[in-house]
Amino acid sequence: MSAFSVEISAVVPVGMRHADVGELFRDYKAGLEQLGRPYEIIFVLDGAHPQVASALEQLRLQGERIVIVTLTKSFGEATALMAGFERARGATLLTLPAYFQIESGGIAQLVQALATSDVAIACRWPRAGGPFESLRRTVFHRAVRLMTGFAFNDLGCGARALKRRVVDEIFLYGDQHRFMAVLAHRQGFRVTEVRVAQSPKDRFEGRYRVREYAHRALDIMTVLFLVRFTKKPLRFFGMIGLALAGVGTLLLLALLVARIGFDHPLADRPALLLSSLLLVLGLQLFALGLLGELIIFTHARDIKDYQVESVIHFAERTSENSAPAATRGQIAAG
């Protein structure tokens, strides 16, 4: 297969949770062949998975269009996706989970949605699960909407379709793969959510530990900072710092009034220590925000947070006295 014969690259990150890769491959192959376009499936093994590697090697020897990428150790799904993107040859990219989430027909729906958008993410509908699962999903997505301002309904689904230029602009690390749509939206890309049929095999048998919920809460806070305060760190740290410093200052003034006006002693007063601590902590946070602003100012030329939708040139006049052709651009701010 030549380097120019691939139009669609599907990246499948294989971590601790994965289905039978032979069955999964056949399901994804059926969905990709509905498109009638040349494709490849890239399996990225996030760490040592000898049984999975052996099964994939058998498929490769049978002539299936798959690429096997093995990482030296487990780095996380976001890193595995980036490793797959770097080796993908298609202009259209898909991310597909290593276990069943959507019906194979949903793959074509996602790719077709790229006709009017840059990113298409799957929303499993109708969604299976009990009342607790529904409540957990609702709380998570409402928290994301509150923190970032973007409304999505199924960020936990790993099935997505993206244009090549999206992955060229977005860098994922940690657990940011869940928020790929949010980060793309922030960069000015057009993101759409596509309702697809949920696979009947989409069942999670384990339980989420308290640590997992804590990680998701921290991830949401991280995305909040990246989306809203990447180029304005003083607004984040400055607001918190000013609030703490203000409370500390008011408390100190109240203590001074009590000491001067009512002769109340200041010795052995916990309020004095608390007010001093709040004042110092607030000033430190404010200074941290200022330091962040200086760093952003220094590197602002290297930070691109917009995408060019189109550039329209005026036709040049043929007259000798005509003015130089002007250029106007329509820039979609991120």
| Close Cβ partners of 120 (under 8 Å, ≥ 6 residues apart) | 109, 110, 111, 113, 114, 160, 161, 162, 191, 192, 193, 194
Beta partners for residue 45, in sequence order: 14, 70
Looking at the predicted structure, is the pLDDT value of residue 301 above 70? no
Looking at the predicted structure, is the pLDDT value of residue 210 above 50? yes
Mean pLDDT of 174-196: 92
> How high is the pLDDT of residue 156?
92
Task: Give per-residue pLDDT as tens, 29-70.
Answer: 999 999 999 999 999 999 999 999 999 999 999 999 999 999
> How high is the pLDDT of residue 270?
81
Mean pLDDT of 193-207: 87
Is residue 100 within 8 Å of 205, Cβ to Cβ?
no
* Reported confidence tier of residue 334, pLDDT bands at 50, 70, 90: very low
Pairwise pLDDT comparison (112 vs 270), residue with the higher score: 112
Is residue 49 within 8 Å of 14, Cβ to Cβ?
yes
> How high is the pLDDT of residue 299?
63
Under DSSP, the state recorded for 162 is E
Mean pLDDT of 189-194: 96
> How high is the pLDDT of residue 120?
98
Mean pLDDT over each residue of the chain, to the nearest integer: 85
Looking at the predicted structure, is the pLDDT value of residue 331 above 50? no
Task: Label residue 116 exposed, middle or buried (CB < 10 Å: 0-12, 13-18, 19+).
Answer: exposed
∠ CA(22), CA(28), CA(33), 5° rounding?
Answer: 120
* Reported confidence tier of residue 305, pLDDT bands at 50, 70, 90: low
> How high is the pLDDT of residue 318?
54
* Reported confidence tier of residue 307, pLDDT bands at 50, 70, 90: low
In 3D, which of 286, 258, 293 has the Cα closest to residue 272? 258
